[in-house]
Amino acid sequence: MKGRFCTILLALLMATMSMTSTTIAEDSGRQMDDVDCSGYTFEDLFEYDNAVFMFQILDDWASSDLYANSWVNETRASVVRDNLDGLFEGFPGGNNSWISTDERDAVREIGAKCIADMYTRIGIREGIPHRGGVDWNDVEFVEEGIGLEEVDLIPTGHPEQRSCAGRYALASTDCEEVPTSATNNLEISMFVKDDQTHNTRFNKLPNSGESDFTVAMNVTNITSATMMFTFPYVEGMRMANWTILDDGVEDLSSGSIEEIFLPDGSVRVSVDISYDKADWPMIRNIFFDMTTSPPETNDVPQWTGNEPVDDTIIPMLKDGSEVAAISAEVMADWATDNDAWGLDCQFAEAGWSSRMNSAGELLVTPGSSESGTATCAIVDPYGETNNLTHTWRFGQPATFSATPGEYSDVVTINSEPTLLVQNLAVSLAATQLSGNGPTSDINLGSSASSDTVSLSGLSPGAFMIHIMASSPGMLDWEVTIDLSLEKTNTPAVISVDNNLDGSQATWSSDKFSFSLSGTVIDPDGGEVTMSATMCGETTTSFSQTGINWDVSLSIAKCVADGMTQYDVTLSAEDSVGAITTYDVSVPDPYAAVDNTPVNVENTNEESGLPAPGMITSILVILGAAIILRKD
């Protein structure tokens, strides 16, 4: 029932704006600033099958980042579309069992404003553990930080998709709509806008997490969700206890709460929860208590024997900035602990330092020396350290350079050893987001080397150099470097097939249209879009299979304009917008017929039939008349 009330409320709100984003409605004069969704939650608007909520408290302990993504499948997707369409009752095209892109865009207009009034349903309280009945430090939304997106609310390619431009008053020129009965799955997500730092906030915790506090969340009506609460690093922070209460009575069967220690020492609490709609209006709350008090027992982290031996070279890019020297994947099996573990490395050389991040990478900031020697121990979140340490040497085995600029087929990469190792087996490849080009393998000793790297398979535009290197006594090195390189674009190449008689067009039997065929190739390997323009009309109705294409062109417009020479311009646009054109001139199929006047009087005396030239002329006129009639 509450969801229905919210739908009615938003219907009233939406009545304050037109489909063209006008902020004042003709019938009410209300402003978009009147939007008020207070007292409601996300679940009151959308019924989803599953959702993920990622709530991260930022370092100031006063602002936070809430990411939410919900999946709506099949029948529920249809219900969501129908509910949104119902918001527009009274508007042209509204509440008519069709959901349009205009309606979607209008919802986006007020979405952040509406959500800013809603409950986050998250509260924080300092002090001893609490289970309700106190004044909570409630988290609230920040409107200017809210980003919203949906996927496939208007599913592309739906068999019943149609244009609504001109169908309804105020509809935009590119308006498209589908029936609300569409069961295509959709997603709805909320995140922090690109130009903002947070989308939620609360009153700053005076203790900044350094002493006990409790987190609470009302999870009533959350049918199925995973929630992740991530806190800034505070030494020794851990979860002390948790519970789930249904109308104040403990019920742990409806979910689970797990503590996850991240490699940088910060803590994440994972909550899996569900709610049966049949239990409404039962109130379900979760609580978990955080503390910095040490646990009664704690295991010492242990090396596994898979870690590098002493004096191993740890390769890294040394450009003066903090870089990831060892990935989480590489060091995953070096040690074990009942909670978590990380590396604590102390360098002998001045200016060198390291730290673990939450992704499990060891980040190293280099000093001025060519390499740095570090003594590394393993430590758990409570500061428990294994006495066994390892000494490793960090540095860059080789440097790589190239002349910045544009290249078409190959680029020369200069490699110079730093003599950190004696011999280095190196693989070089040009790389983009879509993948790598062919690999060039070199053996780098004590001398520099200049080698060509193929750009085959790369798209036009910027690319980087992917490097993989190995050497005895060194961890394998994999790094991607930016040398300010670009691949030039090569426009597509068009060819048109010739018939046996040398002509390029194949006429239909009724001579109302002709077809052209040929090949089109993008030397860069990208997709090519073709179009054809004739007599002022353009078509993109090409049939393309691999490099082959064909198109059929009607001469109706040409005949209507009095043209008998059919000049076609073929255009091929590649993936970066470069256009190649090819001109084809197709003569009138009747131009080869001998239309020389004959003695009609003599012909009529002999046969009583029109002369052949007259028949041809009549057929041409009739054909043109039929075409004009069809047009």
Q: Please name which of 466, 428, 475 lies closest in space to residue 330, comparing C-alpha atoms.
A: 475
- Residue 589 region by backbone torsions, left for phi larger than 0, else alpha for psi between -120 and 50, else beta: alpha
Strand segments (E) across 382-536: 390-395, 398-401, 405-407, 410-417, 424-432, 435-436, 440-444, 449-454, 461-470, 477-487, 493-496, 506-507, 513-521, 529-534
Q: Answer whether residue 505 shows pLDDT above 80.
A: yes
Within this chain, domains 302-395 and 493-587 share the same CATH topology: yes
What is the pLDDT averaged over residues 193-218?
A: 94
Mean pLDDT of the chain: 86
The pair of structure tokens assigned to 230 is 């991530």
Q: Answer whether residue 102 shows pLDDT above 50.
A: yes
Q: Please name which of 228, 230, 191, 192 lies closest in space to residue 59, comparing C-alpha atoms.
A: 230
Lowest mean pLDDT among 100-114, 149-163, 372-386, 494-508: 100-114
pLDDT over 70 percentage in the chain? 88
- The predicted pLDDT at position 146 comes to 93
The H or E element containing residue 99 is strand 98-100
- The predicted pLDDT at position 30 comes to 31
Determine the Cα–Cα distance for residues 523 and 44; give it in Å rounded to an integer: 53
- Residue 558 region by backbone torsions, left for phi larger than 0, else alpha for psi between -120 and 50, else beta: alpha
Phi, psi of 113 (to 5 degrees): -65, -40
Determine the Cα–Cα distance for residues 565 and 588; give it in Å rounded to an integer: 6
Q: Please name which of 106, 148, 292 lies closest in space to residue 211, comparing C-alpha atoms.
A: 292
pTM, rounded to two decimals: 0.64
Q: Answer whether residue 298 shows pLDDT above 60.
A: yes
Lowest mean pLDDT among 6-15, 318-327, 356-365, 547-556: 6-15
- C-alpha distances (whole Å) from 201 to each of 58, 138, 223, 285, 517 are 9, 9, 25, 21, 62
- The predicted pLDDT at position 310 comes to 97
pLDDT over 90 percentage in the chain? 64
Residue 430, CA atoms < 13 Å, CB-side half-sphere: 27
Crossing angle of the two packed helices 74-86 and 101-116, in degrees rounded to 10: 80
DSSP symbols for 308-368: PPTT-EEE---SSS-EEEE-HHHHTTSEE-SS--EEEEEESSTT-EEEE-TTS-EEEE--S
236: which residues sit within 8 A by CB, 6+ positions away? 292, 293, 294, 381, 382, 383
- The predicted pLDDT at position 630 comes to 40
Determine the Cα–Cα distance for residues 238 and 289; give it in Å rounded to an integer: 9
554: which residues sit within 8 A by CB, 6+ positions away? 512, 513
Q: Answer whether residue 5 shows pLDDT above 50.
A: no
Which CATH number fits the domain 398-487, given the four candidates 2.60.120.920, 2.60.40.2950, 1.10.10.10, 3.40.50.150?
2.60.40.2950
Q: 341-362 pLDDT, tens per residue?
A: 999 999 999 999 999 998 899 9
Residue with tokens 């742990």: 252
Phi, psi of 34 (to 5 degrees): -80, -5
Q: Give the total residue count for the chain.
A: 631
- The predicted pLDDT at position 591 comes to 67
What is the pLDDT averaged over residues 503-516?
A: 93
Q: 122-158 pLDDT, tens per residue?
A: 999 999 999 988 889 999 999 999 998 888 999 988 9
Paired strand residues for 532: 539, 570
Cβ(29)–Cβ(8) under 8 Å? no
Decide which of 221 and 19 is more confident.
221
Determine the Cα–Cα distance for residues 80 and 96; give it in Å rounded to an integer: 14
Determine the Cα–Cα distance for residues 479 and 469; give it in Å rounded to an integer: 9
Residue 613 one-letter amino acid: G
Lowest mean pLDDT among 214-228, 367-381, 616-630: 616-630
Boundaries of every domain in the chain: 37-151+180-289, 302-395, 398-487, 493-587, 600-630
Taking residue 380's Cβ as centre, other Cβ atoms within 10 Å add up to 21
The pair of structure tokens assigned to 182 is 């569409």
> Helix (H, G, I), strand (E, B), or coil: what is residue 112?
helix
Strands 267-274 and 224-230: antiparallel
* Fold annotation for 302-395: Immunoglobulin-like (2.60.40)
Crossing angle of the two packed helices 74-86 and 2-14, in degrees rounded to 10: 40
- The predicted pLDDT at position 170 comes to 85
The pair of structure tokens assigned to 321 is 């900035």
Decide which of 620 and 524 is more confident.
524
Q: Answer whether residue 623 shows pLDDT above 70.
A: no
> Helix (H, G, I), strand (E, B), or coil: what is residue 157?
coil
**Could you tell me the CATH superfamily of domain 493-587?**
Immunoglobulins (2.60.40.10)
> Helix (H, G, I), strand (E, B), or coil: what is residue 60?
coil
Determine the Cα–Cα distance for residues 19 and 85; give it in Å rounded to an integer: 13
- C-alpha distances (whole Å) from 361 to each of 235, 256, 266 are 19, 28, 14
SS3 content of the chain, % helix, strand, coil (to 5): 15, 40, 45
Decide which of 192 and 5 is more confident.
192
Determine the Cα–Cα distance for residues 193 and 177; give it in Å rounded to an integer: 27
What is the pLDDT averaged over residues 500-526?
A: 92
